[in-house]
Amino acid sequence: MSVHAPTSPDRDPPPKATLFCPDCGHESPPTGDWVVRGADPGSDRASDGDAVVSCPDCGTEIATRGGSELPALA
């Protein structure tokens, strides 16, 4: 069961397609200001053609996506 917190009158809820950084709290749409770079060759978490999405504020890696998904994030 999830707990739903009522929206504060001072802040509108973020759009549903919003990425959040778990370390610093930065939030932006997937096509926003996230840093997208090619995955390091030989990385345990990525394969050829993958991209790593990182927070522009603190550099935390948010996600690794396949190359076919890049146009949606870039």
Residue predicted with more confidence, 9 or 58: 58
Mean pLDDT of all residues in 32-55: 77
Q: Report whether 73 contacts 65 (CB < 8 A).
A: yes
Across the chain, mean pLDDT equals 76
**Residue 69: per-residue pLDDT:** 54
Domain containing 27 equals 17-39+48-64
- Percent of the chain predicted with pLDDT > 90: 30
Instruction: Indicate whether 12 belongs to any domain.
Output: no
Instruction: Indicate whether 26 belongs to any domain.
Output: yes
Q: What is the pTM of this model?
A: 0.60
Res 8 pLDDT > 80? no
Mean pLDDT of all residues in 40-47: 59
Our count of domains for the chain comes to 1
Instruction: Indicate whether 34 belongs to any domain.
Output: yes
Instruction: Indicate whether 59 belongs to any domain.
Output: yes
Instruction: Indicate whether 22 belongs to any domain.
Output: yes
Instruction: Indicate whether 11 belongs to any domain.
Output: no
**CA 61 to chain CA mean position, Å:** 8
